[in-house]
Amino acid sequence: MIDVQLLRAEPALFKKRMGVRAKEEQLDKILLLDGQRRAVLRGVEELRARQKKVKSSEEGRGVKSERKESEDALKKLDGEFQALLDTLPNLPDEDVPGGYAENNRVIKTIGEPAKHDGPPHWEIIKLLDIVDFETASEISASFWPLLKGDGARLEMALINFFMAENDRAGFEPVMVPAMVSAHSAYGTGQLPKFEDDLYKVSEENLYLIPTGEVPAGNLFRNKIIDSAKLPLKIQIPSQCFRREAGSWGKLGKGLIRNHQFNKVEIFEFVKPESSGQTLDEMVERVSSLLQKLGLVHRVVLLAAGDMGFAAAKTYDIEVWMKGMGDWLEVSSCSNCRDFQSRRTLTRFKNDSGKTEFVHTLNGSALAVGRIFAALCENFWDGKAVILPDCLKQYMGKNSIG
């Protein structure tokens, strides 16, 4: 949730920075409702004060009736104001490029991309018989994966490798529920705008998590964190569930976009003054994992219109896919500043004793299925997938094939 005071104080500057993420008329409507509700609130407060000073029962009944009418009007305005505010994405940082994906900016590339050579991973996994989409579709439906043999072993090896490396970097492991309440999905920005992307159990009003970010962001909902404990660094291994799949061309093939996938998420609660540096450190954490895996990758600063709803600044980390001949995003690292903590009421006391909203950051470290695919494409020698040294201890072998 944005800080309405910023919009109220400098509407022109706010609109310029928001750019393509929100229509100007939407922001004008928020300002209009904000002014109306504050005016009605002043009237309600005056009536409450008058009610305490009435001198007759007749006057009291009149003030009470007028107060109820004003309170009803305030409640209606509050509802309209909040509903509109809930659909407004986060305000981009000042150094975020405007516009959409065509304005994304490559910051750096680590390694030299190989020429487009060799089969894509969906052909390799079929040759090796380590992923079985046909059986999975009979058990469930299309775009639900079934991993077997060395496919299952590689999936677990990657999870264990990511967790061990993140643990050494100070990220405390947390196992979370696979389902969350509507309050939790609202807290991190999935609701109300993206309800159609989520799997829902209507009888329980619970949602399958699309990412570990959702339960992680609600760990301290309605709480005040001891400032001495900040920054709080956690990692969340989880299965993730998303309804999107199947309409993405080659990105809809193989392990790129499935309804169910594994991911290790890193999440931090930090003081506001350190969140910018923390985002840079988070990107380096992801890059260090990819370097140990021997994968060529690049860091891309996203334009405002290409960022997630709750993000103020996002870096995508993309690996080179030799078989696809293209870059593939395997991690998004985002600074959400106080957007999520305002929705979850997650706070801390600063050095002056004043209560502030914490800043939250999240990133994939890493998306398991996409790294699985990248290893297959980049380390395929025509007969087997040659495993990077860092995975051999987890696999108990040097190759798959």
* CATH number of residue 64's parent domain: 1.10.287
Segments forming the whole domain that contains residue 35? 4-85
Residue 218 forms part of a structural domain: yes
d(CA 53, CA 251): 69
Residue 376 forms part of a structural domain: yes
* CATH number of residue 194's parent domain: 3.30.930.10
Q: Which residues contact 159 (CB under 8 A, 6 or more apart)?
A: 237, 262, 264, 368
Residue 89: its pLDDT value, please? 98
Residue 245: its pLDDT value, please? 54
Identify whether residues 237 and 293 lie together within a single domain: yes
Identify whether residues 319 and 240 lie together within a single domain: yes
56-70 tens-digit pLDDT: 888 888 889 999 999
Q: How much is the pTM?
A: 0.95
Domains in the chain, number: 2
26-41 tens-digit pLDDT: 999 999 999 999 999 9
Residue at a domain's end among 19, 53, 85: 85
Residue 332 forms part of a structural domain: yes
Identify whether residues 121 and 52 lie together within a single domain: no
Identify whether residues 210 and 73 lie together within a single domain: no
187-233 tens-digit pLDDT: 999 999 999 999 999 999 999 999 999 999 999 999 999 999 999 99
Identify whether residues 114 and 16 lie together within a single domain: no
Identify whether residues 79 and 155 lie together within a single domain: no
Residue at a domain's end among 85, 114, 147: 85
Identify whether residues 254 and 139 lie together within a single domain: yes
283-341 tens-digit pLDDT: 999 999 999 999 999 999 999 999 999 999 999 999 999 999 999 999 999 999 999 99
Residue 96 forms part of a structural domain: no
Identify whether residues 189 and 220 lie together within a single domain: yes
Identify whether residues 270 and 374 lie together within a single domain: yes
Residue 157 forms part of a structural domain: yes
Residue 92 forms part of a structural domain: no
Identify whether residues 63 and 110 lie together within a single domain: no
Identify whether residues 185 and 320 lie together within a single domain: yes
Identify whether residues 139 and 62 lie together within a single domain: no
